[in-house]
Amino acid sequence: MRETPVFIDGPQGPLEALYQDLPDAKGVALICHPNPIQGGTMLNKVVSTLQRAARDAGFATLRFNYRGVGASAGTSVAGVEEIDDARAAARWLRQAQPELPMTLFGFSFGGYVAGALSGELEAAGERLRQVFLIAPAAARFKEADALAQSVPLTIIQPEADEVIEPGVVYDWSGALQRPHELLKVAECGHFFHGKLTDLKDLVMPRLLAEPV
């Protein structure tokens, strides 16, 4: 079974996306890609790895291109506006799957987008299952409470990250008042070169486990 190309009604026009439905899915997963100004797209290999992990764990998945990326309308700004795009994607996914709990993934800049979106969705009463932030752009978070507070949170940070300073992520994680899990990946750079299997191995058991 393959992902199906779809277009989502976004704030600046259609957003290009790939959707994979599953029979008897136990949840849905929305995946947010890296910085569009620096070449990030929904086809990024870390994003692709996260999509496969979610699919293999029994989740219907949606990944999408922010405004101005690929065939998505609009202009990339790599700011809070991309959270608006992610909100539109979450709305589309919820309409496609009204009953299933939603898991959010974000890589790099997408970690900021997914994290900020998680707090918004929780405040709106959305049924969230889990949040995974991979090498997140932690310095972009202005408020510690931007994250959803009542959903399991996993932060995965490469220890040799050349794009996101690991110490910034560790300090941010340490300052979070809410419970969460911080996983450090040794001898690993930002894009998980040679470590994508390790990333999937970290994500899969957490997806398969039933959240408390």
Structural domain of residue 45, as residue ranges?
4-208
Least confident of 44-53, 115-124, 186-195, 202-211: 202-211
Token pair in block for residue 160? 């040799």
Cβ atoms within 10 Å, residue 149: 15
Most confident of 27-31, 142-146, 176-180: 27-31
Helix crossing, 81-96 with 109-123: angle to 10°? 60
**pTM listed for this prediction:** 0.97
pLDDT digits (tens, 9 = 90+) for 118-129: 999 999 999 999
In angstroms, the CA 116 to CA 90 distance is 13
> Could you give the number of structural domains in the chain?
1
pLDDT at residue 19, as a whole number: 98
CATH code, domain carrying 48: 3.40.50.1820
The H or E element spanning position 19 is: strand 13-20
Q: For 92-151, how does the pLDDT look when each residue is reduced to its tens digit (9 = 90+)? A: 999 999 999 999 999 999 999 999 999 999 999 999 999 999 999 999 998 756 899 999
How far, in Å, CA of 53 to CA of 203, rounded?
7
